Every structure is written in C-alpha cells, then in structure tokens.
Amino acid sequence: MDGFPEDAVTVARAALTTAARDWTLDAVFAMNENTERTFTSADDLDDLNLAAESEYRNFPGEEITIAKGYSRIIETLAAVLPKGSIHLNSKVRRIDWCADDGPVRVHVDGGDVVAADHVIVTVSLGVLKSSLRKEALEFSPALPDFKKEVIGRLGFGVVDKLFMEIDGDGDGEFPFLQLAFDVTEEGRVAKIPWWMRKTASICRITAGRTCCSRGWLGRRAIRNGGAQ
C-alpha cells in the first residue's frame, strides 16, 4: 500500500484479517449447522431435543444401497415364515389391548378377530393422529394421555435428495466435499444457485460408484421444490 501512512496500513490489514476471520467462522458454523440438521432430521436446531441428539449413531463401514429397493429385505425376511403367516389387504379397525383376562385382540374388516400375546403397531403418524379422533384405527381402551399428547405434538417433515453422476468409472478417488459460503445476502454470488449455498457436503454413496448425493430438510426442501 504505497503512499499510505504505516499506521493506516497496519489498521487496514488488521480490519481485513478480522473480517476474513469473521466470514470464515460464520461460514463454517452455517456449514456445520446444515450438517447437524441433516443428521438429526431437525428443520430448526431450536426445536431439537439435545437428549435425543446424543442418541444418533453411525453404523461402521461403508454406506450400502439395496438392489431393487428395500422390498427385497422384507421379501427375504418373509420367506422364512410359515405359509399363511402374513395377511395382506386386512384393514385393522380396532385393537383391544391391556386386557386382564386374555390376549390382545385385533379386529379387522369383515368381522375377523386375531388374538396375540403382543401387538407391534407400526402405522404411519397420519393414521395415529386419525386414531385420536377414532377416524381410522381405534384403541380400546384409549391410549394413555401422555401418548396421545406426544402423537398430537409430532409433525411431518419434508426431505429432498439430489443425486449427481460424476465423470469416470468410479475407481478413482473422490473427496468428501464440505462447502462453505458467505452467509450474508450481500456476499451472495448470483451464479451460485440457492440449493448449493445450503449444501453442507457432497459425498459418494458407496466406494466404487459414480453417484453422489445430498439432501435437505424442512423449509429448505420446500424451497428447493418450488425452485424446480
């Protein structure tokens, strides 16, 4: 900086260093926030239960994909069951549970009743919410108040995934990319699309493959859908 006083140059350099440091800290924080929201499926970290966050665990080893979809897992498990164990197209109307004098009873369309020692209910959240109004599935006796409160408070989320094909045959090295951007609107580069600015990382799904993926949750997923 020829022509400027030495003390002015020192102040300018210090200001530039401070600004660069603040930019870097904000960008890295935003990057890690996006990653944390993805791992915990939280639209907003303010809504995240910290006790539940600590329960997240990564399975060891490489990520895997299931050829021809997850239905192959169900088909494999079902193949070892006795014939006739699985009843399809049998809509459950009511579950009599907590009976003192006998097993749990499951009432299905047509009047049939199935008795069992235990019943595992894996219906969707929408069906559970409808059960509170007795519109879909009825529990007899009614579920405890604390369970009904939890069902009522739970909400639905939106998830978007983007898959990208990289050049090559998949044998070469592909780094785990983490992306940091200026979080201010003033620092936004118009040529960088919104979805990329909200992308914390891009990684190859499995080793030896040419497919990479990235996902978004909540409001960001909804905005991506509108942009498409």
Please write the tens of the pLDDT for every residue from 160-173: 777 777 776 656 66
Compute how many other C-beta atoms are within 10 angstroms of the C-beta atom of residue 106.
19
User: What is the DSSP track for 27-52?
Assistant: HHHHHHHHHHHHHHT-S-GGG--HHH
User: Can you list the domains of the chain with their CATH numbers?
Assistant: 9-65+157-227 (no CATH), 87-153 (3.50.50.60)
The contacts of residue 203 (CB under 8 Å, 6+ apart) are: 176, 177, 212, 213
Cross-strand partners of 114? 106
Reported confidence tier of residue 23, pLDDT bands at 50, 70, 90: confident
Q: Would you call the peptide bond into 82 cis, given omega within 30 degrees of 0 as the criterion?
A: no
- Per-chain mean pLDDT for the chain: 76
Reported confidence tier of residue 21, pLDDT bands at 50, 70, 90: confident
Q: Could you give the C-alpha distances from 79 to 24, 68, 73, 113, 209, in angstroms and in order?
A: 54, 17, 10, 25, 30
Please tell me the pTM assigned to this model.
Answer: 0.56
CA distance 151 to 62: 35
